[in-house]
Every structure is written in structure tokens, then in C-alpha cells.
Amino acid sequence: MRTIILISLFFFSYGNAQKVNQRKPNFIVILTDDQSWVGTSFLADPNDPRSKSDYYQTPNMERLARGGMRMTNGYAPAPFCSPTRKSILTGLTPAKHEYQKDRKNWTKVFRRELTIPKILKKVDPNYVTAHFGKWDARYDNFTPEEMGYDFSDGLTSNNTGGGKKTLTNKGKEIPFVMGEQWPKAYNDPKLIFSLTKKSNNFIEEQTQNNKPFFIQISHYAVHLAVTYSQKNINKYKEAEKGQKHFVPEFAAMTEDMDEGIGMILDKLSSLGIADNTYIIFLSDNGGRTAIPIGPEQKEARNFPLRGGKGSMYEGGLRVPFIVSGPGISENTYSNVPVTGLDILPTIARLAGYEDPFPKKLDGGNMASVIHNNGKGIINRNRPFLIFHQAANRKPTSAIRLENFKLVKDWRYNNLELFDLANDIEEKNDLSKKMPEVVKKLDKALIQFLEEANAETKFFHKKY
């Protein structure tokens, strides 16, 4: 009898082990809004002491960085929020959607594109997918459900999380938060804590139902308006201020968001699923160069990076970027350039998708790098990274190949060349010294945009 029981226990344990080993991984994308490469208290590049804030404290982002791999050359697909969000969803550069010449029809085509939730359903119909927070389907009201999500907050925008208005030094503007005047502390600034609670409830429910899941948590912070908790505003009013960061209200909002991220990490630990969950953390674009409160800026807010949100310089494109999860060495970093375009193909392959990707996909699979201590290359359909905007934006582009980066202003056909390995500040324009490199990169840029049927002119029009 005892032998039968032992045999039964063996097969029960073996079966459970097999079940655990065969579990599909879970995926979480945490997308922050307007957060600078230097907008955290961890070093975005461990070899550059300038690559963090001199004022903000983000202990949970530090915790996430310690538990995974920092991508020191991590990029948003665009220097603005809406095109980046569409690109993360589809793995397609904004040149192929938001900045198309065929403005009349691109939104219809976009609805049919392969997306992260759609491809996960192809891998395993049991995947449950959710998008909570800022959606920002600007120029077209396609819903998260139309793009494949099971659950969402619907058609949300900046105003959902507080709008753009923040009180200026002259006191003429107030934030769009519950109709109350700023400055005032809130229990749920930028909806950080309600967004986190909803996300944690989703994670817990799928875990209890033994369902693999994907969730994108798109924070409204640290976009304007500036709102914050009482606890953290009290802390930063007493804290020593930095040279590039010194506004207590913005620091408090940043740490509020950090606390929300910590609550997600705690939930994964308490449910025992941290070892089977990949987390990708990044911002939708670089930080703003200025905010409407606080004293005059003396050192650039994104230093050592040049420019900020809206710019094709590093300050507008390079963002904090962390990947953690099964098989990724803790507290490591990689200098291999990556982009939000790489998220879709990476998640697909990690989940077990084996079919060829569409040829027009612009992202590549990061797995060969994140599972190899940050070394290696990411195979994409083209060997360079391209950033582009036009139509309703100033027509500018950037192309990066290895360490060289070309920035082009289409209005004046102005070309600048930088060696990012030796000049992260983009101070030294090498275009006159290296005309052959300029010619090569410009030719590749033009060819790519022509094939994509991308707009290269500016016009202002409602769509």
C-alpha cells in the first residue's frame, strides 16, 4: 500500500513539474509617458555616472533594473507618444502608419495589422490580453478590442490621466483633475494607483485561472499635468535639489509612479509567478526639455543627452529600457541598440511563435541578446534603426547604423552626422569630415522611406 502511495505521489509530482515546465510565459509591458533617459535613480548606462537623475528617487525601478538587463541604447520608436504606441503594438515604424502619404486610408489598413495580442492568440488561444491606461489612438478611434485585446480601459487619452494643463509660475492654468485647483495633493495622482490595482486584479485572476497573460500598463505619468501624493510632495520639499532636476512636484509624481511599479512587482512575487513572467519597461519618448513650473533651467533636463521630446536627437529618442524574466541574468546591461519595435517579435518568439514574420516588420527578436548576457546582434529586415516623422510634425528623420547616426531636417535638407560611441551629447557634427558616411546613410534613409511610402512634408490637417 505504501509503495502504491509513493508511486502515485511520484507521478503526481512529476505531472505537476511537467505542467510547470510547459507553462507559457506571461508578459508585462510597462510604458511610462515622457520619462527621460535620466529620469530615474538607476544608471541607464552603468558606465556613465551622468545617466540618472540627481534628484528623483525610484527605488522600485532600481529593483527592476537589478533583477534584469538594462538596455543602455534603448530607443522609443518615435519622439512623440502616439506613433510610439502604434509601433509597439505592431512592430512597424511610424513611417509606415502615422506618417504615411496615403493619409486617407492608412487607418483602415492599420486595423488589419498583426499586433501583440493577435500574435499571442495564434501561439496559444488561452492567452488573455489586456491594455490598461493611456491608449491615445490619435487621428483614428480604433479601440484596443479592435486591435486584439480582451480587456481595456477603452479610448483613453492624455485628458483621462489629467490633461496637459499644469499651473505656471503666474498661476494661470490648472490641471484637469477632478475640477480642483492645483497645487493640491491627490490620493490617486495620474490614476497611478487605480491603474495599478486594476492591473494587479487582472494578473491575479489569470493566475488563479491558470491562464497565460499579456498586459500593457501604460502610465499617464510623468506627462503633464503635474499631480502627486501628499506623502511624496512632503518628502521632496525637504530633499536636496539637483542641478538638472529640482522641481519637488515633478519628483513626487515620479516616485508615485515608481510605487505603482513596485506594487506590480510585489504582486508577481506573492503569486509565485515572477520566474515565469517577462517584464519590458520603457518610456514612450524622451523627457521634456522644460516644464511650466519651477525656476529657470540652468543645466539641460536630459543631460548628457541633447534635445528632448519631439527631437530626433538622443534626448527625444533614447529612453530608460529594462528587460527582465526567465533566462535573463540579473543586474546586467547591454550596449546593443534596441527599440520598442522589437517588443512584438521578441514576445512572439518567447511565447513559441514559429512562423515567419511579415516581411514589412521593422522590429527584431531581442532573445539572442537578452539570453546571452547582453552580447550579440538583433536580426532585423534592415541593419539600421530609422526614426521618422512628418505630415502633422516637422519633417525630420534619423538613421542609426552601428555607432553612426545621421539626423535629417527635410525642410532644409540639413544633414548632421554623429558618432554616438564617442559623442553621446551629439556636440560634434562629422558631416563635413565624413561625407561618404553621410551619403551612405542618407541614401539608405531615402530608399527606406520611399519603399514605405512615407510622407516627408509638413502640413496641418485634421484626420
Average pLDDT over residues 174-178: 42
Average pLDDT over residues 251-261: 98
Per-residue pLDDT, 334 = 98
pTM of the model: 0.92
CA distance 263 to 198: 11
pLDDT for 115 beyond 90? yes
Per-residue pLDDT, 462 = 55
Average pLDDT over residues 415-425: 98
Average pLDDT over residues 295-316: 96
The H-or-E segment that residue 70 falls in is strand 69-71
User: Average per-residue pLDDT in the chain?
Assistant: 91
Per-residue pLDDT, 164 = 65
pLDDT for 451 beyond 50? yes
Give SS3 for 462: coil
> Is the CATH number 3.30.1120.10 carried by domain 386-452?
yes
pLDDT for 463 beyond 70? no
User: 291 and 34 in contact (C-beta within 8 Å)?
Assistant: no
Domain locations in the chain as residue ranges: 24-375, 386-452
User: 278 and 41 in contact (C-beta within 8 Å)?
Assistant: no
Per-residue pLDDT, 186 = 85
Ranked by mean pLDDT, which of 167-171, 172-176, 310-314 comes out on top? 310-314
Choice between 334 and 187, residue whose per-residue pLDDT is larger: 334
pLDDT in tens, 187-242: 999 999 999 999 999 999 999 999 999 999 999 999 998 999 999 999 999 999 99
**157, 198, 292, 327, 461 from 143: Cα distances, Å:** 12, 19, 32, 34, 22
Beta-carbon neighbour count of residue 394 at 10 Å? 13
Q: Class assignment of domain 24-375?
A: alpha beta
Give SS3 for 103: coil
Specify whether the backbone of 32 is left (phi greater than 0), alpha (psi in -120 to 50) or beta.
beta
Give SS3 for 238: helix
Angle at 316 between CA 450 and CA 265, to 5 degrees: 115
Choose among 363, 323, 443: nearest CA to 90.
363
Average pLDDT over residues 142-158: 97
Per-residue pLDDT, 168 = 43
- Which pLDDT band, with edges at 50, 70 and 90, does 459 fall under? confident
pLDDT in tens, 16-35: 333 434 689 999 999 999 99
CA distance 334 to 339: 13
Give SS3 for 174: coil
One DSSP character per residue, 347-416 reads: HHHHHT--SPPPTT------HHHHTTTT-S----SSSSEEEEE-BTS--EEEEEETTEEEEEETTTTEEE
pLDDT for 3 beyond 60? no
Domains 24-375 and 386-452 share a fold: no
Q: Is 103 exposed, middle or buried (0-12, 13-18, 19+ CB in 10 A)?
A: middle
Average pLDDT over residues 270-279: 98
pLDDT for 171 beyond 80? no
User: 315 and 287 in contact (C-beta within 8 Å)?
Assistant: yes
Torsion of CA 41, 46, 51, 56, to 10 degrees: 0
Per-residue pLDDT, 306 = 98
